[in-house]
Amino acid sequence: MATPPDTLDKVGAGLDALDVPVEAHKPPLWRRFLKTGVPPIIAFALLLGVWQALWASALLPEFQLPAPVNVWNELVRSIGTGEAFSILWTSLHRAVFGFIAAVLIATPLGLLVAKVRVVRAAIGSLLTGLQSLPSVAWVPAAILWFGVTPSTIYFVVLMGSVPSIANGLVAGIDQIPPLLPRVGRALGAGRLASARHILLPAALPGYLAGLKQGWAFSWRSLMAAEIIATSPQLGTGLGQYLHNGSSLNDINMVIAAIFLILLVGIGIELMLFRPLERAVLRARGLTGAL
């Protein structure tokens, strides 16, 4: 009645051979570029074309809608004098320091909210609520508390990004299949080992989404703070540059500033978060969206 074991072994080996996944063949570099690099370039060119056409139609006065080439010249001028770099540096280093501080505060906070029931009941909804509060609303209060100082700017940045990062971590932990920590217990993991080897890695996709959003919030909070809180003591960041452009009625400067702000946002996304996210998702076989 029973099949002899060596026959079954052969069946097993056959099953394995059939089950081994077929490795997807990677297309050549130029084809990948064609697929992912060309569409955004075309979209950008189209946008420029529409802009140029609108300008040429002269529907709006020059001080409202500048010619693309004038904005380009302003960009080239500020890069040529080195002004662009000092402005970018002022803003970027604030954003990066603020973001790192936010990560250091939000990570333990998120862990506490996710794992300690009392803490979640106490501040869970507050944390979610803070996420929908525009951080620019903190600027007037922060100026009254700290004056027009870097503290004001960092405070606004933190209020913007900490809730996002903490909420991302909470969501990431909430979405862990309950079987995984159970397996950890069955394997003899203590609380700390379980957090380090199971909870945190399992929550990584959600945490990463929170980090990404936290960065976006810290960048936009920084801009809001820099536009409102301007003083010689703070130096010139992108926000002040934008503010100056507006005060001087110089639309070229304003558009150039917006362009630079956007450039930083896209640059960080493409150079930091996109590759990180891809690596994390690919390792888990979640390649549907890639």
Partner 1 sequence: MTATLETTVLSTVDTAVELAGVRKVFGHGSSAVVALDGVDLKVKPGEFVCLLGASGCGKSTLLNIVAGLDGATSGSLQLNTSRPAVMFQEPALMPWLTAARNVELALRFAGVGRLARKRRALELLELVRLGDVADKRPHELSGGMRQRVALARALASTTVSADGAPALLLMDEPFAALDAITRDVLQSELLRVWETTNTAIIFVTHDVREAVRLGQRVVLLSSRPGRVVREWDVTDSSDTVLDEINTHLREVISGHAS
Binding region for partner 1 (CB under 8 A): 1-3, 5, 8-9, 11-13, 15-16, 19-21, 177, 179-180, 182-190, 193, 197-198, 201-202, 204, 280, 283-285
| Residue for token pair 């010139």 | 236
The amino acid at residue 39 is P
CA-CA distance, 155 to 219, in Å (whole number)?
13
Six-digit token string for 69: 């080439």
In the bound state with partner 1, the residue whose beta carbon lies nearer, of 184 and 245, is 184
Q: How far is the CB of 31 from partner 1 (least distance, A)?
A: 24
Q: How far is the CB of 210 from partner 1 (least distance, A)?
A: 17
Q: How far is the CB of 1 from partner 1 (least distance, A)?
A: 8
In the bound state with partner 1, the residue whose beta carbon lies nearer, of 101 and 280, is 280
In the bound state with partner 1, the residue whose beta carbon lies nearer, of 125 and 175, is 175
Q: How far is the CB of 207 from partner 1 (least distance, A)?
A: 12
At how many degrees (to 10) do helices 150-174 and 200-228 cross? 150
Phi, psi (deg, nearest 5) at residue 148 = -85, 80
Q: What is the dihedral of CA 95, 164, 281, 184, to 10 degrees?
A: 120
Q: How far is the CB of 139 from partner 1 (least distance, A)?
A: 40
SS3 189: coil
In the bound state with partner 1, the residue whose beta carbon lies nearer, of 197 and 274, is 197
CA-CA distance, 207 to 172, in Å (whole number)?
6
In the bound state with partner 1, the residue whose beta carbon lies nearer, of 98 and 184, is 184
231 within 8 A of 174, measured Cβ to Cβ: no
78 within 8 A of 84, measured Cβ to Cβ: yes
